[in-house]
Structure 1
Amino acid sequence: MTGFLAGHWADAQEAKIGKQAGDPADESLGDHRYAAGVAVIFITGMSGTGKSTVLGELARLGYRTVDTDYGDWMEEVPEPGGAGTELQWCEARIAELIARHEVSGAPLFIAGTVRNQGRFYPRFDQVVLFSAPVEVMLERIAIREGNPFGKARDEREQIIKDTAEVEPLLRASATLEIDTRQPLADTVRQLRDLISPAKTGKP
């Protein structure tokens, strides 16, 4: 497996097992106890599945959203074996972000796809996988503005490869999958439903 595959799988499985067993929180990532009624929803998926579009609509509706592809949420981390570096979440910043919203009384929607995201799964009420057929993803990437990734041939080939190799692992550790070929309003409605007390199990 590639570094992303091995790292994500190990982190996600460890998080899932620890959550089921009731293991104590990893203190380096902050306190895992949620404030009553606060939901933290994580949206993941391959490039072109519509994460940024949906976050934009949620923000327009007044929800707090963070797209970790933008801003200072990432840092360069050495790859296993010292072959180079890769962008991963800056864990201290992500932990601080979540902790701040756990006491805010407001729900939070976070989006991203990085190797170390599985370390934070115990902090999320839901892990939502966005998916779409590869041809739909590539068509969206070709016409989108503001993000140049996927325009070059080698990047498109990488997206196809990652979809085949990485998406199944994201699916295995997700709590919900949404096919984003449906109308935008339907996807947003499904996410808004997740922050209701009935879905989160919180008062």
Structure 2
Amino acid sequence: MGIRNYLIEGVSGTGKTSVCDELLRRGYHAIHGDRVLAYQGDPETGRPTSGFTHENHIWRVDEVRASAAAQDEEVTFFCGGSRNFAQFIDLFDGVFVLQVDLDTLRRRLDARPEDEWGGRPEERELIVRLHRTQEDVPKNGVIIDATAPIERVVDEIVRQCSLRRARL
């Protein structure tokens, strides 16, 4: 995957999927972690679990490690949320945490269909709590204001990556 690897995280509704789509549109190598790497499992052991719960939304650590170790691309962006990120966060050259204000978050969640995560009232309540506490996103990531238009959000992420590379 990437010589340099970056994680793009944030609570549901902050724009991780949109950022990934925009990075891909611009020709960057980007992975939709929630589509490609995610499954339902125990965050500590990795053992698969049945049913869907937010707490058991994890990524396949072996696949993240293999993808991050490959040197096929100049840069790879891993986009999505995972409850087991602590098991692989050390692989990344940088972490970006997308953040929005509560009104923007609620507006985005209100637009979601009921069959998409965050579309049901109980899921929205959980997301609003996680937005408030920030308990399941990386603590040392670079905060990105994701209320801006998606093009500007991605411009800022790319700019931050260039700054980090210049420091190496």
* TM-score, with structure 2 as normaliser: 0.81
What's the CA shift for 1:151? 1.4
DSSP-derived class of the 2:104 partner: helix
Q: Deviations over 1:144-164 (max 9, x none)?
A: 479711111111111112222
DSSP-derived class of the 2:34 partner: coil
Q: Which segments of 5 or more consecutive residues in structure 2 lack a partner in the other structure?
A: 50-55
Which residue in 2 is equivalent to 1:75? Answer: 39
2:152 to 172, 186, 203: 186
Q: Does 1:173 align with 2:140?
A: yes
- The 3 A distance-change label for structure 1 pair 146 and 119 is same
Count residues in correspondence: 159
Which residue in 2 is equivalent to 1:89? Answer: 59
Which residue in 2 is equivalent to 1:158? Answer: 126
1:17-32 alignment to 2 at 5 Å? none
Structure 1: distance between partners of 2:40 and 2:150 = 33
Q: Retained in 2: the 8 A contact 1:107–1:195?
A: no
What's the CA shift for 1:202? 7.0
Q: Does 1:50 align with 2:15?
A: yes
What's the CA shift for 1:74? 2.0
Which residue in 1 is equivalent to 2:52? Answer: none
DSSP-derived class of the 1:170 partner: coil
DSSP-derived class of the 2:148 partner: coil
Structure (1/2) with the larger helix percentage: 1
Structure 1: distance between partners of 2:63 and 2:57 = 14
Quick check: which has more Rg, 1 or 2?
1
Structure 2: distance between partners of 1:107 and 1:120 = 17
DSSP-derived class of the 1:160 partner: helix
DSSP-derived class of the 1:69 partner: helix
Letter in structure 1 aligned against 2:74: A
Q: Does 1:123 align with 2:91?
A: yes
Letter in structure 1 aligned against 2:38: M
Q: Which segments of 5 or more consecutive residues in structure 1 lack a partner in the other structure?
A: 1-34
DSSP-derived class of the 1:57 partner: helix
- The 3 A distance-change label for structure 1 pair 189 and 173 is same
1:100-115 alignment to 2 at 5 Å? 100=70, 103-115=71-83
Identity %: 23
Q: Does 1:148 align with 2:113?
A: no
Structure 1: distance between partners of 2:82 and 2:14 = 15
- The 3 A distance-change label for structure 1 pair 202 and 178 is closer
Structure 1: distance between partners of 2:102 and 2:81 = 16
